[in-house]
Structure 1
């Protein structure tokens, strides 16, 4: 009996020592991770969720903050300011001018009350880095002799572009034809709640609606800043909103977060890097089921809106020609485009990668920057050809339908 009691006492002591050592080791590991987080916060703020906002805000002048607030949109995240003119320098060192109309579209030549064609998308739709009359929407307007309204906005995702299109149709803007522009890298923005997590902090208000594909479904999330704080927010709210957006953002897992236990956060970050690549942008989302579901969500709703309003929908895919420096290659979206044409024959799908052009001339600098004046002409010419064929097909279809009725 005494021997049994002694064994139990020894076992208790061993268990106590084991638990104490485990707790001490955990404390040391947690302290090391915390100090590592603090070091990253101070010396590498771009790697930490919370630090990026503080660092960026500290560098902003009052005038810059006012300008950013003026661009804020509670639903879309941001939008162009109406009746604005700006002169900028592109990545090739050349100056270019950008002007906007009262409806926040880029200045065009044949501006009417009822545009024939409306363009939506990101900076490749907007025509950033070239003058107003060099953007492909402007050139398309000249070639077709129809009012082409350019509603492209820098850094937009296809989801934001589709939501802006939906807003316009609900307000009575119903063109005969709509063009949704999808740049090759845009799919990354579909699952991104704040551009900061994609490695580039545009500004603290760069929150955007995003999609969260998981378990065979796609969940829509609105602008986190607006859903959490409405239209009134301060610097502290911005930081809180960034942290909340990290919970739904796919790319946020590539950054550290100020949350206990810090060791778990570090492990999560390391696993995400190992699983999806060293950098977020190296991961090909087009090749995943999640990416396909997210893009289907946008194209399906784009088609639904168009059919409900009697608008002919076009989806324009633009390849990342910067990756063609060594040789012309197949875009990451190629397989998706083939499936989309089969799955949604009602959509007219146009791929600029199928056009004949000189890759080294497509961007403002050889394989660098946005589309050059030459690149914009290539897009306009290829689209012009496709639209004329589409219109000819529609006329033939209507004529056959009328003859059948007679």
Structure 2
């Protein structure tokens, strides 16, 4: 082998080594740039010891457990949440009152980033003069929400049930392990529904015992098979050897993440925080494109409709009014403002007996000061602020008055 070939090989090795160390460094700082090791991540023993007693649920995957509380810190603000004895969020001044409305859903129903007396359920309690019970749980999909409803409703019957979820719930109902869609969310194993012979079939949470977290790799073949995003997203975004080649598969996304993570590290200690959001902004835009795409996916739409049909069927069996409420993130509202509603055609296609649909986006997109309705001062917006929750309560109250 002559010197020329040796030099070329050496350059290639150095080039690969350079990208390996850059990618590994960024991966440690930002979980959304994934490598081969992320196919089988090590579950933190310390994290499990904290999560299992207060958050693990063998059926639903995770939950807010009765008689727990906590403080959430974000953007130099603190909010306190409390879960009462029945597993619902505390509703100051109303917990001992009669309840005619109960709510189930994700973090936009739970109302993260505000205090117990600043949730839209609390404001709706004032408007309806009743204790609006809040059984929302962060990151729930519509599938988990239905299962939670069936668990809680027999003990907490109300005349009206409101299910409130973000449009991204269409992604969540396709997932068995959140890590395959939200990289790094490794404790979040969950049940999901599938359709077989035109019927809704439940695939139970595979990690249904605490001990299974320690041996979760044994269940990966089944989890991968049941999770839409493993093949369609996760596996396509892994960067493995040869790193310089795999980097090209999602070149714009990967290079932007690498640039902003490294830039933020170099600027650490500076007073300016304006660039800290940039890496996550890339991910939020990718996720928005995914949910827009999924509302045109027949498999996802059909599953979504079947779950809503199950909700309405359960309502008819138990003689309550089922309400389905869309609670958009800030980037959803802005997308609809500048383009068109990516899920409205799906909602309009639904013809489910007795199901009342409230799309709060219709009113939110008319708000002049949209930023004030959300907690975070960025493109995503975080969750609704106290003012935002008050507006949501007004919209829901107005719609309920027409029923």
Into which bin does the TM-score normalised by the smaller protein fall? 0.7 to 0.9
For 1:210 and 1:370, locate their aligned partners in 2 and report how far apart those are by CA, in whole Å.
Answer: 25
Residues 178, 314 of structure 1: 8 Å contact kept: yes
Q: What does residue 149 of structure 2 align with?
A: 165
Q: What does residue 54 of structure 1 align with?
A: 41
Q: Does 1:115 align with 2:99?
A: yes
Residues 129, 372 of structure 1: 8 Å contact kept: yes
Q: What does residue 362 of structure 1 align with?
A: 373
Identify unmatched segments of 5+ residues in structure 1.
1-34, 272-276, 391-406
In the TM superposition, 1:5-16 aligns within 5 A as none
For 1:192 and 1:327, locate their aligned partners in 2 and report how far apart those are by CA, in whole Å.
Answer: 25
Q: Does 1:245 align with 2:223?
A: yes
CA separation of 1:240 and 1:40: change in aligned 2, threshold 3 A: farther
Q: What does residue 348 of structure 2 align with?
A: 338
Q: What does residue 315 of structure 1 align with?
A: 324
Following superposition, the deviation at residue 192 of structure 1 comes to 0.5
Following superposition, the deviation at residue 305 of structure 1 comes to 0.8
Q: What does residue 375 of structure 1 align with?
A: 388
Following superposition, the deviation at residue 291 of structure 1 comes to 1.6
Residues 59, 191 of structure 2: 8 Å contact kept: yes
Residues 52, 210 of structure 2: 8 Å contact kept: no
For residue 349 of structure 1, the aligned residue among 338, 344, 357 is 357
For residue 400 of structure 2, the aligned residue among 387, 393, 399 is 387
Q: What does residue 105 of structure 1 align with?
A: 88
Q: Does 1:328 align with 2:337?
A: yes
For 2:41 and 2:172, locate their aligned partners in 1 and report how far apart those are by CA, in whole Å.
Answer: 23
Q: Does 1:207 align with 2:186?
A: no
Q: What does residue 185 of structure 1 align with?
A: 168
Larger radius of gyration: 1
For 1:243 and 1:310, locate their aligned partners in 2 and report how far apart those are by CA, in whole Å.
Answer: 41
SS across alignment from 1:376: helix
Residues 114, 175 of structure 1: 8 Å contact kept: no
Following superposition, the deviation at residue 312 of structure 1 comes to 0.7
For 2:213 and 2:61, locate their aligned partners in 1 and report how far apart those are by CA, in whole Å.
Answer: 16
CA separation of 1:336 and 1:306: change in aligned 2, threshold 3 A: same
- What's the RMSD between the two structures over aligned residues? 3.6
SS across alignment from 1:164: helix
CA separation of 1:383 and 1:96: change in aligned 2, threshold 3 A: same
For residue 293 of structure 1, the aligned residue among 298, 302, 317 is 302
Q: What does residue 67 of structure 1 align with?
A: 50
Deviation per CA, 1:311-345, whole angstroms, max 9, x where unpaired?
A: 111000122322445872433211111112xx125
Deviation per CA, 1:119-177, whole angstroms, max 9, x where unpaired?
A: 000000000011111110111011111011000000000110111001123x4322110
Residues 128, 370 of structure 1: 8 Å contact kept: yes
Q: What does residue 22 of structure 1 align with?
A: none
Residues 180, 229 of structure 2: 8 Å contact kept: yes
Q: What does residue 29 of structure 1 align with?
A: none
CA separation of 1:118 and 1:40: change in aligned 2, threshold 3 A: farther
Following superposition, the deviation at residue 112 of structure 1 comes to 3.9
Identify unmatched segments of 5+ residues in structure 2.
1-16, 251-282
For 1:94 and 1:280, locate their aligned partners in 2 and report how far apart those are by CA, in whole Å.
Answer: 26
CA separation of 1:42 and 1:218: change in aligned 2, threshold 3 A: farther
SS across alignment from 2:295: helix
Following superposition, the deviation at residue 362 of structure 1 comes to 2.2
Q: What does residue 28 of structure 1 align with?
A: none
Q: What does residue 174 of structure 1 align with?
A: 157
TM-score normalised by length of structure 2: 0.73
SS across alignment from 1:354: helix
Number of equivalent positions: 335
